């Protein structure tokens, strides 16, 4: 029986040599604390979940996540923390990209042939600043792709009526304006499902973080 709170990303399941996932609320783990302590408490459960998902041998790259629009190009394994960035683009295989969210949207943008991918953190501010269009442009430029070669997926995030801004709809419009034709939105509100997800707004800032991942498999 599957007990880990990790969800697959069905829209990406058919892409070769790609593993994408979303780790939700950890049952029974108290994270009603400030962010640094919550992240400390989540670190080992997250590692264990990734190990059981078959990703334990890969290093994980993380971003500082300052609610901006900087996208870090991960070009080797020596720089696994992207200071000042809110997302990654990579062609490096055998590294797991990780983005933490607790109402903001994780956005996966992946080449259909599995050759490259982006994982982006796009909440209200990041969406206003256009981090998803920036990630799409960098991905296309790096690999000589066109937007029609890409699939974009918007993961669970806070949505109206729980939040006054529908930034998920804005992300869909932005990706479409860049020329991406296949855009998937899970239409799931993190604030509406306390049993599955952490929500910064619902829990007044004292909560955990979900982990979105993207791995280009060797």
**1, pLDDT greater than 90:** no
Q: pLDDT digits over 14-69, tens only?
A: 999 999 999 999 999 999 999 999 999 999 999 999 999 999 999 999 999 999 99
Proportion of the chain above pLDDT 90, given as a percent: 95
**What are the pLDDT digits (tens) for 84-109?**
999 999 999 999 999 999 999 999 99
Phi, psi dihedrals of residue 182, rounded to the nearest 5°? -105, 105
Specify the 3-state DSSP secondary structure of 22: strand
Query: 197 near 211, Cβ under 8 Å?
Result: no
Q: Which domains does the chain have, with CATH numbers?
A: 6-216 (3.60.140.10)
């Amino acid at each position: 029986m599957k007990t880990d709170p990790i969800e697959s990303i069905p829209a990406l399941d058919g892409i070769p040599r790609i593993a994408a996932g979303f780790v939700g609320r950890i049952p029974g783990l108290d994270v009603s604390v400030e962010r640094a302590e919550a992240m400390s408490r989540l670190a080992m459960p997250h590692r264990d979940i990734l190990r059981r998902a078959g990703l334990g041998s890969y290093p994980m790259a993380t971003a500082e996540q300052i609610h901006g629009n900087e996208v870090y190009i991960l070009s080797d394994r020596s720089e696994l923390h992207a200071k000042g960035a809110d997302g990654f683009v990579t062609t490096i295989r055998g590294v797991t990209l990780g983005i933490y969210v607790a109402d903001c949207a994780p956005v996966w943008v992946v080449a259909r042939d599995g050759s490259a991918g982006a994982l982006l953190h796009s909440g209200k501010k990041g969406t206003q600043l256009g981090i998803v269009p920036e990630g799409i442009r960098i991905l296309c430029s790096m690999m000589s792709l066109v937007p029609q070669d890409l699939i974009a997926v918007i993961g669970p995030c806070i949505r109206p009526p729980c939040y006054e801004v529908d930034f998920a709809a804005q992300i869909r419009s932005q990706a479409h304006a860049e020329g991406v034709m296949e855009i998937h939105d899970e239409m799931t509100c993190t604030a509406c499902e306390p049993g599955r997800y952490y929500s910064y707004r619902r829990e007044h800032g004292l909560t955990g973080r979900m982990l979105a991942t993207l791995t280009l498999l060797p």
